[in-house]
Amino acid sequence: MIAYSFFTFLAALTAVYMLFLFRLRSGIRWLAGQPVEELPDAVSDAWPSVTVLLPVRNEEANILASIASLLQQRYPADRLDVLILDDGSEDRTRDLAEEAIATQQHFRLIRGEGEGKKTMLTAGVQAARGEVIVSTDADCMHDADWLRALVEPFLQGADIVAGPVVYQGRRSLFQRLQALEFLGLVGVGAGFFGIGFPRLCNGANFAYRKTQFHAVGGYEGNESIQSGDDEFLLYRIVYENGGQAHFVARPEAVVRTAPASTIGEFLRQRIRWASKSRSCEDRRFVSFLVLLFLYFLFVAFAPLMSITSLVAMLAGLLFFVLKVIADTAVLYAAAALFRQPLRIADVLLAEVLHAYYLVLVSLVGLFGRYTWKNRKVVTNRS
């Protein structure tokens, strides 16, 4: 009787999950079907003035490559402003950055004392000369036409723009699994844009009008939350201020970053991302996230319930197969859109681990604590 009730609930949750993912798949396919026109020339008078914000903390291993990546951008130099926002680095990040930009007139360094990423981004917006604000991260690499590809929608009236981020480096199984998981996250975010409900994005490839930032009060009310500088703004600009959102799927807009080097580093990053859900301002979206958490909780317990009988075992196998079908529908659509490789063996292994990983990260993100950039963070603050 317990197994019957369990799999009845799992059946209902699976139906919701599959409908959700196939709807997002349609959004990804819609993005893939949009015509890709040639970017305006780099010397065109149409380009708006842009300020790129590069928040950094303890990034001595990445800062020089990141600056070099931004130096190669084919964008009108007289309309480009790059601000390196040092959030109290405890290593050589600040010194290396100062040396690298000493002769670059459109690069500036803003010093912070460890107040937090959102404080530094706010300071960057206040100091920005550009009408469009672009944010990225110090561990990211960019195509030479990245900035033009990301900014181009503003020529068509966009107020906020997101782009894809992918992991580069797939030599080990751990790296490939990370790349697969991250591809799923970015694919889901793109799918939301594609169905007209932009809700998820990544601050490593993100842009918005400065006037919109001020109109919605910036990060007011969630300054202490370690993550969410991207999604909080997206929600406020689109759903509170009526801004027009756009997702750039063209190849030049893809930002590349490295996967975590250890399991601990990977989990701490994902826990940091999960912790922002406590402060999400969209109650409907939070309700849906709770429903998804229940689904993954049921999936995690399904193997235990499956050993009770042959019928339960067949039911557990059926629901696992249905989950794989739904997940791969999104993964392969996203892989095709962002031109990323997939291995079916990696997908199957990831499916076995998926539910347990998400339940763990969700619970610690809501009620636990972690260390990030040498800062201890408690996630259950009111």
Predicted confidence (pLDDT) per residue in 160-191, tens digit: 999 999 999 888 999 999 999 999 999 999 99
Identify the band that residue 273 occupies on the pLDDT scale cut at 50, 70 and 90.
Answer: confident
Structure-block tokens of residue 124: 């960057």
Domain count, the chain: 2
State the pLDDT at residue 222: 73
Identify the band that residue 271 occupies on the pLDDT scale cut at 50, 70 and 90.
Answer: confident
Place of tokens 């900035």: 147
- Alpha helices of 34-116 — where are they, by DSSP H? 63-71, 93-100
Structural contact between residues 86 and 138, judged by C-beta atoms closer than 8 angstroms: no
What is the spatial distance between Cα 258 and Cα 175, in angstroms, rounded to a whole number?
A: 9
| Shared domain check, 182 and 245 | yes
| Shared domain check, 140 and 99 | yes
Four-point Cα dihedral 23, 28, 34, 40, nearest 10: 140
| Shared domain check, 253 and 303 | no
Backbone φ and ψ for 375, nearest 5 degrees, come out as -120, 135
Identify the band that residue 205 occupies on the pLDDT scale cut at 50, 70 and 90.
Answer: very high
| Shared domain check, 136 and 64 | yes
Residue range 289-324, pLDDT digits in tens: 899 999 999 999 999 999 999 999 999 999 999 999
Mean pLDDT of 106-130: 92
| Shared domain check, 51 and 24 | no
Q: Please report whether residue 33 resides in a domain.
A: no
Q: Inter-axis angle of helices 173-194 and 310-338, to 10 degrees?
A: 80
Identify the band that residue 374 occupies on the pLDDT scale cut at 50, 70 and 90.
Answer: low
Q: Which domain holds residue 170?
A: 39-261
pTM for the full predicted model: 0.92
pLDDT higher for 140 or 378? Answer: 140
State the pLDDT at residue 371: 65
SS (H, E, C) 178-233: HHHHHHHHHHHHHHHHHCCCCCCCCCCCEEEEHHHHHHCCCCCCCCCCCCCCCHHH
Q: Please report whether residue 272 resides in a domain.
A: no
- DSSP string of 87-101? E--SSSHHHHHHHHT
Q: What share of the chain is helix, strand, coil (3-state, %, to 5)?
A: 55, 15, 30
| Shared domain check, 156 and 55 | yes
Mean pLDDT of 33-48: 89
| Shared domain check, 109 and 22 | no
State the pLDDT at residue 68: 96
- On average, the pLDDT of the chain sits at 91
Identify the band that residue 113 occupies on the pLDDT scale cut at 50, 70 and 90.
Answer: confident
What is the spatial distance between Cα 31 and Cα 16, in angstroms, rounded to a whole number?
A: 23
| Shared domain check, 67 and 94 | yes
Mean pLDDT of 57-65: 95
State the pLDDT at residue 382: 42
**Residue 81 Ramachandran class (φ > 0 left, ψ -120 to 50 alpha, else beta):** beta
Mean pLDDT of 245-249: 97
Identify the band that residue 381 occupies on the pLDDT scale cut at 50, 70 and 90.
Answer: very low
State the pLDDT at residue 285: 86
CA of 327: how far to CAs of 341, 355, 373, 376, in Å? 16, 12, 32, 34
Structure-block tokens of residue 290: 């709770």
Chain mean position to CA 380: 22
Q: Please report whether residue 273 resides in a domain.
A: no
Q: Please report whether residue 270 resides in a domain.
A: no
CB atoms closer than 10 angstroms to residue 287:
10
| Shared domain check, 340 and 222 | no
| Shared domain check, 24 and 62 | no
Least confident span in 144-153, 220-229, 354-363: 220-229
| Shared domain check, 254 and 120 | yes
Map residue 125 onto helix, strand or coil: helix
